[in-house]
């Protein structure tokens, strides 16, 4: 294979060796080989339909490209830094294999529209893979939530005990985060799935190409509308990275809760040994390394989003060499997002809930104080007055070191004569969660109904 530059005609001196290595992208963009070949096959097919290639040339090119793909996948392809990128490596090998027909493949296109097409094809596939991993995690959460629909735990605001909820209800909150993420990616894919091929370097081409036909061959919704925008647009990659950052933010919040809950101080859940590690010096330690690492990777993904935004902010139209720097942050985002989702989907089913510890924690912190206020309101007390009554009752509980449910009826009536012996029904944890019996509430019946609706939603897709 010749390493002569395919664009070297205008140049009288060879590229400096360090510059050659510095500007090359083949070490990371070679992962696009399958999409590069896919796009080239579609392009050759369209060129033949337009009469720009003969049928024989088309067939020779396609057979050569398929052979190159087989060589790459068998580990028999030698990548050359001198040939800069995946596109030149494939085209150079094709030309050396099939001769002049290979030199005709690039008719009517540029590396500018070629790389934009490759990245879109790549990202389109990766989005579907990521959505499938989110779905798998969601299904794991539904199964666990169904098991724990009645398990009472404290709900928190400001990380202080607020009101009792069920563990199943809490897990369904995680489900809803992920549902938004899955929907966001589906919407993002609408803008990814637009074909820039045929925009050529920046102005289109003089050849009678059929971009609608090429788009159909590649499964794109439509060709792009403006050639300048086509080769310089990286909004789709930034939008994906923003969606990825949101997913990682959600996984990081889940990680934080799992880390806290699995601590000896909370003792709400036990993470499987398969997802934890020990200490080199402290034999008793069981460290939640997987959620900690996911929490850490979130910052990395946030950084990639900022990198891409900064990359594009000062670029004039159309294509600039800066855009070579879009791939590494994008690839790393995809890889780490997929890995984080996979490990979470594997970890959730292996979590063991500790209902006794959760219940004991829910008994602390006056979690049913709002229930007592609601009780008084139903008896005719204005809410603000009820709020003050309950606040005084809580103060008594604090001074005595006991919960509201442990105060006597006489003590409670000292704050309001409207309190009767039926008050203790609303001060129980079970009574509190059961009373939130509306859509979106934490009542076990509503949790099960939410799970059922969620399963139907996922099944319908």
Catalytic (active site) residue 279 = yes
Q: DSSP assignment of 375-416, as one string? A: HHHHTT--HHHHHHHHHHHHHHHHHHT--GGGS-HHHHHTT-
| ω into 218 cis (within 30 of 0) | no
Q: What's the rounded Cα separation, in Å, for the pair 461 and 183?
A: 11
Q: How far is CA 79 from CA 92, 93, 327, 421, in A?
A: 11, 10, 18, 82
Q: What's the rounded Cα separation, in Å, for the pair 172 and 446?
A: 11
Q: Is 242 helix (H, G, I), strand (E, B) or coil?
A: helix
Q: DSSP assignment of 82-116, as one string? A: GG-SHHHHHHHHHHHHHTHHHHTTTTT--HHHHHH
Q: What's the rounded Cα separation, in Å, for the pair 343 and 56?
A: 49
Q: Among residues 8, 272, 279, 452, which one is catalytic?
A: 279
Cβ partners under 8 Å of residue 170, min gap 6: 153, 155
Catalytic (active site) residue 357 = no
Q: Among residues 158, 274, 438, 460, which one is catalytic?
A: 158
Q: What's the rounded Cα separation, in Å, for the pair 340 and 334?
A: 10
Q: What's the rounded Cα separation, in Å, for the pair 86 and 163?
A: 57
Q: Which stretch of DSSP H or E encloses residue 255?
A: helix 235-261
Torsion angle of the four alpha carbons 138, 31, 184, 144, in this order, in degrees rounded to the nearest 10: 10
Nearest Cα neighbor of 145 from 176, 120, 186, 122 is: 176
Half-sphere exposure in the Cβ direction for 88 (13 Å, CA) = 19
Nearest Cα neighbor of 376 from 426, 327, 449 is: 426
CB 404 within 8 A of CB 365: no
Q: Is 53 helix (H, G, I), strand (E, B) or coil?
A: coil
Q: What's the rounded Cα separation, in Å, for the pair 277 and 261?
A: 17
Q: What's the rounded Cα separation, in Å, for the pair 43 and 34?
A: 14
User: CB neighbours (10 Å) of residue 360?
Assistant: 12
Residues annotated catalytic, as ranges: 158, 279
């Amino acid at each position: 294979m010749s390493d002569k530059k395919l664009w070297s005609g205008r140049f009288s001196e060879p590229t400096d060796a360090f510059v050659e290595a510095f500007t090359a992208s083949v070490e990371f963009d070679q992962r696009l080989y399958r999409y590069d070949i896919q796009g080239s096959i579609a392009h050759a097919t369209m060129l033949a339909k337009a009469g720009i290639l003969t049928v024989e040339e088309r067939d020779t090119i396609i057979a050569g490209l398929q052979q190159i793909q087989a060589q790459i996948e068998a580990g028999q392809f030698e990548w050359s830094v001198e040939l800069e990128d995946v596109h030149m490596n494939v085209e150079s090998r094709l030309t050396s294999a099939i001769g002049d027909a290979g030199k005709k493949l690039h008719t009517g296109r540029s590396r500018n529209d070629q790389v934009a097409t490759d990245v879109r094809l790549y990202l389109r596939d990766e989005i579907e893979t990521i959505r499938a991993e989110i779905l798998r995690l969601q299904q794991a959460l539904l199964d666990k939530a169904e098991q724990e629909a009645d398990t009472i735990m404290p709900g928190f605001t400001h990380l202080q005990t607020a009101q009792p909820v069920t563990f199943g209800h809490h897990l369904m909150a995680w489900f809803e985060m992920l549902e938004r993420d899955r929907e966001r990616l589906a919407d993002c894919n609408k803008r990814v799935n637009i074909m820039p091929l045929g925009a050529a370097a920046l102005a289109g081409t003089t050849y009678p190409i059929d971009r609608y036909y090429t788009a159909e061959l590649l499964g794109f919704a439509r060709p792009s509308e403006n050639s300048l925008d086509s080769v310089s647009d990286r909004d789709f990659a930034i939008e994906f990275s923003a969606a990825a950052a949101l997913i990682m933010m959600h996984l990081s919040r889940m990680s934080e809760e799992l880390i806290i809950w699995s601590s000896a101080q909370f003792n709400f859940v036990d993470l499987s040994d398969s997802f934890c590690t020990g200490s080199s010096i402290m034999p008793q330690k069981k460290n939640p390394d997987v959620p900690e690492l996911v929490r850490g990777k979130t910052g990395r993904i946030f950084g990639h989003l900022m990198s891409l935004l900064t990359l594009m902010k000062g670029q004039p139209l159309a294509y600039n060499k800066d855009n070579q720097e879009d791939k590494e942050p994008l690839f790393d985002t995809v890889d780490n997002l997929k890995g984080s989702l996979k490990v979470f989907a594997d970890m959730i089913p292996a979590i063991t809930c500790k209902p006794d510890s959760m219940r004991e924690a829910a008994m602390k912190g006056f979690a049913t104080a709002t229930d007592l206020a609601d009780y008084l309101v139903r008896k005719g007390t204005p809410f603000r007055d009820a709020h003050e009554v309950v606040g005084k009752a809580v103060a008594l509980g604090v001074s005595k070191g006991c919960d509201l449910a442990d105060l006597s009826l006489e003590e409670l009536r000292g704050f309001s004569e409207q309190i009767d012996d039926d008050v203790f029904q609303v001060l129980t944890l079970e009574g509190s969660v059961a009373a939130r019996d509306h859509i979106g509430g934490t009542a076990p019946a509503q949790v099960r109904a939410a799970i059922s609706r969620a399963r139907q939603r996922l099944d319908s897709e």
